[in-house]
Amino acid sequence: MFGWLRERRRREIRNRTFPSAWTEILLRNVRQVAWLDDRERDQLKGWVAVFIDEKRFEGCGGMEISDEVRVSIAGQAGLVVLGMPDEHYSRLKSVLVYSGDYLARKSAPLEGGGELEWQESRLGETWSGGSMVLSWPRVKEGGRLRDGPRSVVIHECAHAIDMLDGEVDGIPPLETPRLRAEWSRTIEECRIRFEEALDEGRSVPFDDYASESDGEFFAVASECFFQDPHRLARFDRTLYGLLALAWRQDPKSRVPAHRG
């Protein structure tokens, strides 16, 4: 019953008139919206309205939350699940936004006992408890395609989807155990090819941070999949195909190969 009531409320939200000011924000801060067809654009707008209604946005470090912040983040998050219109990041409850990059505590055990602690600069992170943390300047850079293949929102949304099965293992939700096993084996081969390219000093399409773990490889590769799909496909067509299967869309078909 609660699911039925939730869907009815979401349908009502999607049917409301989308504010013209929000459309202007999307076009300004989520550049890819201009390359969607009318159906995709309408779908995204409805999804954005639901996301903003359901998630709590909080400013940190003096950051003030405005419609520009909400719509810019929601628009990029919506692009990620454009092929999964019923996916609303159900475990995500709040979005914390900093006015810039922020410091977070990090620690590591010492060989002789004890623990080493330090402060690490971060752009974003996703917590299993239901919160996502983002740096506002990085949100804008990613949405405006001003940071190459990088997008902190896409990265953290990839982690959020990865977490749906309970752990960040670089494997998104897939329909069957057999498909999951095949997907896992094939993306591991892609990761090996990526690391070999790094070792040989060859050009790669996304950050070497992807080699940190299976989860980071999936998230960083997903950034490039959406932000610079043609370059990713040229580098590793198999990896591109895996991500197209995971995200159920083909951004290469809409994002211009050469952007002015």
**C-alpha distances in Å from residue 168, one per residue of 92, 128, 228:** 15, 9, 24
Per-domain boundaries in the chain: 19-102+119-253
Task: Provide the pLDDT for residue 92.
Answer: 94
Continuous H helices in the chain: 2-14, 20-29, 38-54, 67-80, 136-143, 152-162, 177-199, 214-227, 229-235, 237-247
Q: What is the pTM of this model?
A: 0.92
Task: Provide the pLDDT for residue 173.
Answer: 86
CATH topology of domain 19-102+119-253: Collagenase (Catalytic Domain) (3.40.390)
pLDDT, tens digit, 9 for 90 and up, residues 15-45: 999 999 999 999 999 999 999 999 999 999 9
Calculate mean pLDDT across residues 52-63: 96
Asked if residues 80 and 226 have their Cβ atoms less than 8 Å apart, the reply is yes
Which two tokens mark 81?
């699940």
Task: Provide the pLDDT for residue 114.
Answer: 62
Task: Provide the pLDDT for residue 49.
Answer: 98
Q: Which residues pair with 57 in a beta bridge?
A: 95
Task: Provide the pLDDT for residue 115.
Answer: 65
Asked if residues 76 and 243 have their Cβ atoms less than 8 Å apart, the reply is no
Indicate the average pLDDT of the chain. Answer: 92
Report which DSSP code applies to 110: -
Task: Provide the pLDDT for residue 180.
Answer: 87
Task: Provide the pLDDT for residue 96.
Answer: 97
pLDDT, tens digit, 9 for 90 and up, residues 94-107: 999 999 888 776 65
Q: What is the rounded CA–CA span in Å between residue 143 and residue 250?
A: 18
Q: What is the length of the chain?
A: 260
End-to-end CA distance of the chain: 50
The yes-or-no verdict on residue 118 having pLDDT over 60 is: no
- Other beta carbons less than 10 A from residue 133's beta carbon: 21
Task: Provide the pLDDT for residue 108.
Answer: 59
Task: Provide the pLDDT for residue 119.
Answer: 66
Which two tokens mark 42?
């309408």
The yes-or-no verdict on residue 1 having pLDDT over 60 is: no
Amino acid symbol at 204: V
Q: How confident is the model at residue 260 (pLDDT cuts 50, 70, 90)?
A: low
Q: What is the rounded CA–CA span in Å between residue 201 and residue 155?
A: 25
Q: How confident is the model at residue 117 (pLDDT cuts 50, 70, 90)?
A: low
Could you tell me which residue, 68 or 165, shows the higher pLDDT? Answer: 68
pLDDT, tens digit, 9 for 90 and up, residues 186-240: 999 999 999 999 999 999 999 999 999 999 999 999 999 999 999 999 999 999 9
Task: Provide the pLDDT for residue 20.
Answer: 97
SS3 165: helix
Q: How confident is the model at residue 83 (pLDDT cuts 50, 70, 90)?
A: very high
Q: What is the rounded CA–CA span in Å between residue 180 and residue 172?
A: 8
Q: Which residues contact 93 (CB under 8 A, 6 or more apart)?
A: 55, 56, 130, 131
Could you tell me which residue, 257 or 68, shows the higher pLDDT? Answer: 68
SS3 62: coil
